[in-house]
Structure 1
């Protein structure tokens, strides 16, 4: 693709140069009467129009290989700036520290023009503080997004705030399992164990993996399960608890929304047993992004890997290959969520309607920002950035869909590009993961089968879902209620961590009892009243879990 602005600038410069040469060559000519030729007054060559400049945040996930450069400067930032309508400066922000960093940037008045952040409570707080710009007047500069809004009116609804104006830009994507358990089936065979189907069996298998030397090196150096920040969510979900780093375990009981203390207690009791039994890494609290747990798994030291942010192409194709390279004979399979005493639950679903982008109310050039969004939403832009170059990174398969030529090359050169192209709605046949594997290659055929099994296992509406909605669509609290929520979330989290680490000195039962007391004392009832008022008013129109299952059903028909 060529930039129209670039063409105009180049053509204009060439024309000026040509005119200059012609004038220089004719300057000494005489008129027919022998007098000097009439000279055209010199005119200043028009300087090429300066491209608008904008700043844009992006998640730094540590995914740019050194050979590619940095998040600020790599093949994709250069391509976007060469071909897009504006000059973009990217501001990388650590994914695990994004809200803290953005708070600092807004407080200092240096927040970028365009803000990408998936954390709904944080975005809503910016809205409440009037830090965001209404976008209705700028939709005319984003015709590509208007097309998406017309096709999926749910996006307009999800991006509109209480004042009736549009503030958030979002996208449609495939609904996939966000959290998944993977188990070393070769370890099961070696220890003569079967696939666990209940949480009680899961605990026994994990303990055996930690104690019975499944790797055969004569050392007690293996873990049964991992409990980094995000992987804890999966363990909570087994017991119907939705508690996360931003959410408490809200749920529906007897027609009212409240905290599911019983579910919290069951999850906490299980996690304490993991820690007390030496089944997990004792230093799990410092593994905030799960990088240590992943390395333990890839190095053959972890038997059950709870992946809290599963990439369903990269993991079964590349990570499993790395494991098998490091540990010849290793075998991995999807582990369905074991049934708990509180029910048969499935895990979190990656949100198919994602709101993630807003404009800073102090954006210097909102029109330029809108033009950038429009460029990034063009199908040809998205195809280029998401897939790379045809013949270099991909070829068309029998269905006409892009098929990666070399998974490792694609991972290195294209894998991180999705952090720039986060706007593209991907809901056509070629966008679905089942059409991205090359089944003619044995390793990719196996990866495809793993993903299909995960879909059947985790995307099952017959199972219960922890919570009434995806985390992103739970209502947020404003003003004093937000202060109460933040305070209580930290207090309850700290109490639960204390119970996990304190042995017999502090039990899960006491932790939950203390959490309930804190709830009463700090104003938790006010939160309950507010969220139930919201539910009574919006239960028929809000985007709840039943709506997610409907999207899953629709997408299965497209695939």
Structure 2
């Protein structure tokens, strides 16, 4: 799994040589070092390296999963040394903070409130409140033209796989943040089922919601765990946060009725509509009510979050759960530790009575880079990131990153055999996470496409494919293939920006109204007809105005 999270590299086939003027940093008190040449001095990039070196200033919230070895820190490590040696770029952190309890956003919010000079770049995971404040601050430059001018073809092609990735960072038709790309379909769900229970009860693979119900009935009423008690559930789920969530997902049930709640969807007329007020949601709610009454699902599922719901599967009390392909490694891998002889397997998501199907899908971004408007030469950042896309995003034999990021950290060789981070002698460390954009560089389509290819039995040919083949269990490859085989079921959330004016006023109330009505329908406190009354109230209490505003935004960006 550690190897899977690493990105790959391609051989650098040409070197850029051109002349810039001045240093890369500007503005007051931004922490730039004296190594930046004075404004009158020429700054040369020769064979891909600045000589003398230039400095990029930044800040960082260091997440708990970013660990170090050899006494290194985020400010001084194998990556920072590499950046200076390979590219002639010194990375200086104005400040860092251990990022627990939103410490990074809190410190950044205070810096913004006190009008501190921002660093050259800020790379951050998304936090809607602080991101909107940064975009509104006037401290960061428009980046669309910069990207068009300086980004490499590899990077541009990766970004063009999903142009909507820019939407979150657009304002008045201009782009003010560069998306940090992630792998496509990375958290899209498949249906995980206890395979040992399927074999014991002689059950067939489900294709429809009706098939799933037959399996759930058997899992509840035919004592699959053999303890002589009726103490198992057919399916575990947790909808405390949403129906379409990253683990213990139930978006596929609503998708089987042509709906996708909790998000804004593109309809057949080319407009956006809110998924929770579409007719198919009522059918999904009624089905959840039936499943609860029959004991197919935990009674308290609406109070459970994703982790709590997953515990029911991992402990051996539930026979199904929907979630991503990577759940093989965590947390489903703990099932075999808790239940002797337990097996699980991924199955395709079922379709509804009319043959419909759908699932929520994953954004292909996991953060953003903002560039200080006072940074005199932002192209220096592009020199850095172009290198990662051109040399790391997809491996080729003989490249610098053929086997991983840095030997002795996220990979090594033991007795001539490649090993991943977990088996590095003396302990490994995820050095790819030290990069300015957290994971080096990712081409959205590459990971799942590779795993699907391997699941089909095709031999790995590129170094990237060989690393995936080496470090990925067959169960995970098969799950990834299912995700790709069903990619037409993916329904993206098309609204990717800040709250509209009406949302700020009414969304909290409408969200509470939705949860209250949906819960009452599921638990039988009101009849299904209450859904239609909810839709009417939603529309008249701000929903129609929100829909109008959402579509005005959509027309402005698409």
Interval containing the TM-score (normalised by the shorter chain) = 0.5 to 0.7
- Quote the Cα distance in structure 1 between the aligned partners of 2:123 and 2:385: 15
Q: Which residue of 2 aligns with 1:337?
A: 349
How far is the alpha carbon of 1:238 from its aligned partner? 3.3
SS in 1 for 2:367: strand
User: Any residues of structure 2 matched to 1:367-406 within 5 Å, and which?
Assistant: 375=384, 378-379=387-388, 387-390=404-407, 393-394=410-411, 405-406=419-420
Q: Which residue of 1 aligns with 2:26?
A: none
1:270 to 287, 293, 314: 287
SS in 2 for 1:337: coil
Q: Which residue of 1 aligns with 2:60?
A: 56
How far is the alpha carbon of 1:333 from its aligned partner? 2.0
Taking only aligned residues, the RMSD between alpha carbons, in angstroms, comes to 5.0
How far is the alpha carbon of 1:483 from its aligned partner? 3.0
Q: Which residue of 1 aligns with 2:477?
A: 448
* Consecutive unaligned residues in structure 1, runs of 5 or more: 1-7, 11-47, 397-402, 543-559
2:367 to 356, 366, 371: 356
How far is the alpha carbon of 1:373 from its aligned partner? 7.2
Q: Is the 8 A contact 1:51 1:87 kept in 2?
A: yes
2:189 is the counterpart of 1:179: yes
For the structure 1 residues 146 and 284, does the alpha-carbon distance in structure 2 shift closer, same or farther, using more than 3 Å as the test?
same
Q: Which residue of 2 aligns with 1:480?
A: 502
- Quote the Cα distance in structure 2 between the aligned partners of 1:221 and 1:214: 10
- Quote the Cα distance in structure 1 between the aligned partners of 2:465 and 2:494: 27
For the structure 1 residues 109 and 210, does the alpha-carbon distance in structure 2 shift closer, same or farther, using more than 3 Å as the test?
farther
- Quote the Cα distance in structure 1 between the aligned partners of 2:222 and 2:100: 38
- Quote the Cα distance in structure 2 between the aligned partners of 1:154 and 1:55: 29
User: Any residues of structure 2 matched to 1:432-471 within 5 Å, and which?
Assistant: 432-433=450-451, 434=454, 436=465, 444-456=473-485, 458-459=486-487, 461=488, 464-466=489-491, 470-471=492-493
How far is the alpha carbon of 1:357 from its aligned partner? 0.7
User: Any residues of structure 2 matched to 1:406-425 within 5 Å, and which?
Assistant: 406=420, 408-409=422-423, 413-414=429-430, 417=433, 421-422=438-439, 424-425=441-442
2:543 to 514, 524, 527: 524
Q: Is the 8 A contact 2:182 2:442 kept in 1?
A: yes
How far is the alpha carbon of 1:187 from its aligned partner? 0.9
SS in 2 for 1:86: strand
User: Any residues of structure 2 matched to 1:480-559 within 5 Å, and which?
Assistant: 480-500=502-522, 503-510=523-530, 512-532=531-551, 537=555, 542=558
- Quote the Cα distance in structure 1 between the aligned partners of 2:347 and 2:499: 36
Q: Which residue of 2 aligns with 1:346?
A: 358
Higher helix share: 1
- Quote the Cα distance in structure 1 between the aligned partners of 2:537 and 2:493: 23
- Quote the Cα distance in structure 2 between the aligned partners of 1:205 and 1:415: 44
Q: Could you give the per-residue CA deviations for residues 261-306 of structure 1, whole angstroms, max 9, x where no partner exists?
A: 2111122222233334443344444543x22333433333331111
Q: Could you give the per-residue CA deviations for residues 30-87 of structure 1, whole angstroms, max 9, x where no partner exists?
A: xxxxxxxxxxxxxxxxxx99966532347x5x646xxx469x9867974444445223
Q: Which residue of 2 aligns with 1:134?
A: 141
Between Structure 1 and Structure 2, whose CA radius of gyration is higher? 1
2:251 is the counterpart of 1:242: no
- Quote the Cα distance in structure 1 between the aligned partners of 2:283 and 2:104: 30
- Quote the Cα distance in structure 2 between the aligned partners of 1:184 and 1:266: 27
Q: Which residue of 1 aligns with 2:225?
A: 215
How far is the alpha carbon of 1:214 from its aligned partner? 1.7
SS in 1 for 2:215: helix
2:170 is the counterpart of 1:161: yes
- Quote the Cα distance in structure 2 between the aligned partners of 1:294 and 1:412: 29
- Quote the Cα distance in structure 2 between the aligned partners of 1:129 and 1:385: 41
For the structure 1 residues 440 and 369, does the alpha-carbon distance in structure 2 shift closer, same or farther, using more than 3 Å as the test?
closer
- Higher-RCO chain (CA-CA 8 Å, sequence separation at least 6): 2
Q: Is the 8 A contact 2:150 2:382 kept in 1?
A: no
How far is the alpha carbon of 1:193 from its aligned partner? 2.5
- Quote the Cα distance in structure 1 between the aligned partners of 2:526 and 2:156: 52
SS in 2 for 1:334: strand
- Quote the Cα distance in structure 1 between the aligned partners of 2:547 and 2:192: 36
Q: Which residue of 1 aligns with 2:310?
A: 294
Q: Which residue of 2 aligns with 1:3?
A: none
Normalising by structure 1, we get a TM-score of 0.64
For the structure 1 residues 408 and 273, does the alpha-carbon distance in structure 2 shift closer, same or farther, using more than 3 Å as the test?
farther
- Quote the Cα distance in structure 1 between the aligned partners of 2:140 and 2:550: 26
For the structure 1 residues 449 and 202, does the alpha-carbon distance in structure 2 shift closer, same or farther, using more than 3 Å as the test?
closer
Q: Is the 8 A contact 1:76 1:417 kept in 2?
A: no
SS in 2 for 1:54: strand
1:116 to 112, 118, 124: 124
Q: Is the 8 A contact 2:192 2:320 kept in 1?
A: yes
* Consecutive unaligned residues in structure 2, runs of 5 or more: 1-32, 36-51, 84-89, 394-399, 455-463
- Quote the Cα distance in structure 1 between the aligned partners of 2:379 and 2:510: 39
- Quote the Cα distance in structure 2 between the aligned partners of 1:162 and 1:351: 19
Q: Which residue of 2 aligns with 1:547?
A: none
- Quote the Cα distance in structure 1 between the aligned partners of 2:351 and 2:496: 25
